Structure 1
Amino acid sequence: MLVRIVKLSFHEENIPAFLENFELMKNHIRNSPGNRFLELYQDKNNPCIFFTYSYWETEDDLENYRKSALFDEVWTFTKKLFNDKPEAWSVNKLVSLV
């Protein structure tokens, strides 16, 4: 399982637009082939910073999503709202106590 962590930083006035769009798109993203989990977090100290955590069955599943029309639609909208360059990490889950 591949875990994808993405840090997104927005201009404060763009946060409502981002959250509204995320609400509209989250189920589409979550139902992408190979996606097993999706959550959105907001930083406690800086409300302009958000993180998405998503779990993918394989790296190919993530890459197929990143090449999809859905990703293009989501990213085209979202990137206009940033106040800083996004950061992303792909990590392997080693231990889970859930």
Structure 2
Amino acid sequence: MLVRIVKMSFEPSKIEEFLANFETVKQKIRDFEGCQFLELYRDHNNTNIFFTYSYWNSENDLNNYRHSELFKGVWAQTKVLFNAKPEAWSVNKIASLE
């Protein structure tokens, strides 16, 4: 499994637009082949910073999503709302405690 973490910083006046769009597309992203998990987080102190965490069966599945029409549409609507360059990491989960 591959975990994808994306950090996004938004123009404060654009946050509601981002959240509305995420609400519209979140289930489509989660239902994309190979996606096992999707969550959105908001920084506790810097409320214009958000993170997405998604779990993918493989790097190939993530890449298929990143090259899909769904991603292209989501990214086109999201990137114009940023106030800083987004950052992304692909990581392997080492341990999980519940």
TM-score where L is the length of structure 1? 0.99
Q: Which residue of 2 aligns with 1:19?
A: 19
Match of 2:49? Answer: 49
Q: Verify: 1:64 aligned to 2:64, yes or no.
A: yes
Structure 1 gap segments, 5+ residues each: none
Alignment of 1:79-94 (within 5 A): 79-94=79-94
Deviation at 1:75?
A: 0.1
What is the identity, as a one-letter code, of the residue corresponding to 1:68? S
| Partner of residue 9, structure 1 | 9
Aligned to 1:81, the other structure's residue is in SS state: coil
State the identity %: 63
Q: CA RMSD in A?
A: 0.5
1:97 aligns with 2:89: no
Gaps of 5+ in 2: none
For 2:94, give the aligned amino acid: L
* SS, match of residue 80 in structure 2: helix
Paired position in structure 1 for 2:34: 34
> Could you tell me how far 1:94 is from its partner in structure 2?
1.1
Letter in 1 for 2:87: E
Q: Which amino acid aligns with 2:96?
A: S
Q: Distance in 2 between matches of 1:97 and 1:10?
A: 31
Partner SS, residue 13 of structure 2: helix
Q: What SS class does the counterpart of residue 70 from structure 2 fall into?
A: helix
TM-score, normalising length: structure 2: 0.99
- Aligned AA (2:85): K
1:10 Cα deviation after fit: 0.2
Runs of 4+ in 1 over 3 A off after TM superposition: none
